[in-house]
């Protein structure tokens, strides 16, 4: 039975959604094509009607997940609070693909790394528009804030001490908030 173009598009979308969640939850190497297709409710054989290889699926799943930019409709401060929350930390499968897959993506194809590069560029452009301060400092602030947010999330996820994990998130957000009121070249406030 031949399926319609609309059904093909819906199936492809479902595969990308399932793959991006499974990859974020388990990593690229721990997830096979058969597992993705089963979770999507499709046959393993139908995979090749959508993608030529698992490598292509990885590239497309990364682009899909990065394109969703969950929370980007929030004001920047609320977005940062949500990103640096225990809820985001604990939601690897539905969380940020950069903090969830950056280390794994280092070992993937140049095309996968290019998908992350484009997603990162879009994130920095969006944050540069939203962050306060003189235009000359906005890009620098966006890069520093995003780097701190991603790094804090990775650290908070990897450690087994819940109190330290929460402290990393809380203190990173406080550090970002402290820097919002001063020019990028000004020294930090004395405590």
The residue extents of the domains of the chain are 1-68, 69-191
Q: How many CB atoms lie within 10 A of CB 92?
A: 18
Token couple for 118: 């484009």
Same fold, 1-68 and 69-191: no
On the question of pLDDT at 20 being above 90, the answer is: yes
**Residue 127's closest CA among 150, 104, 110?**
150
Q: Please give the pLDDT value at position 182.
A: 47
| Closest CA relative to residue 108, chosen from 36, 23, 37, 16 | 23
**pLDDT greater at residue 158 or residue 3:** 158
Residue 68: pLDDT band (50, 70, 90) is confident
Lookup: tokens for 133 = 């301060």
Question: How far lies 135's CA from each of 123, 131, 162, 191, in Å?
Answer: 17, 9, 38, 28
Give me the pLDDT at residue 4, please.
Answer: 86
- Return the CATH number of the domain spanning residue range 69-191: 1.10.357.10
Q: Output the CA–CA distances (angstroms, integers) from residue 88 to 8, 31, 70, in the order listed.
A: 32, 22, 11
Q: What is the pLDDT of residues 111-170, one digit of tens each?
A: 999 999 999 999 999 999 999 889 889 999 999 999 999 999 999 999 999 999 999 999
CATH of domain 1-68: 1.10.10.60
């Amino acid at each position: 039975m031949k399926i319609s173009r609309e059904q093909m598009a819906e199936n492809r979308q479902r595969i990308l959604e399932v793959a991006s969640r499974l990859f974020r939850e388990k990593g690229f190497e721990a997830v096979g094509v058969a597992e993705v297709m089963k979770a999507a409710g499709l046959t393993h054989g139908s995979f090749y009607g959508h993608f030529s290889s698992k490598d292509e699926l990885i590239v497309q799943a990364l682009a899909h997940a990065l394109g969703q930019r969950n929370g980007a409709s929030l004001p920047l401060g609320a977005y940062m609070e949500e990103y640096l929350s225990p809820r985001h930390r604990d939601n690897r499968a539905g969380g940020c693909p950069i903090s969830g897959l950056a280390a794994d993506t280092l070992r993937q194809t140049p095309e996968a790394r290019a998908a992350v590069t484009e997603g990162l560029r879009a994130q920095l452009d969006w944050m540069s528009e939203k962050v306060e301060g003189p235009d000359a400092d906005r890009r620098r602030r966006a890069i520093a804030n995003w780097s701190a947010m991603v790094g804090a999330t990775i650290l908070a996820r990897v450690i087994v001490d819940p109190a330290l994990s929460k402290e990393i998130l809380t203190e990173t957000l406080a550090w970002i908030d402290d820097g919002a009121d001063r020019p990028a070249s000004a020294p930090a406030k004395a405590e």
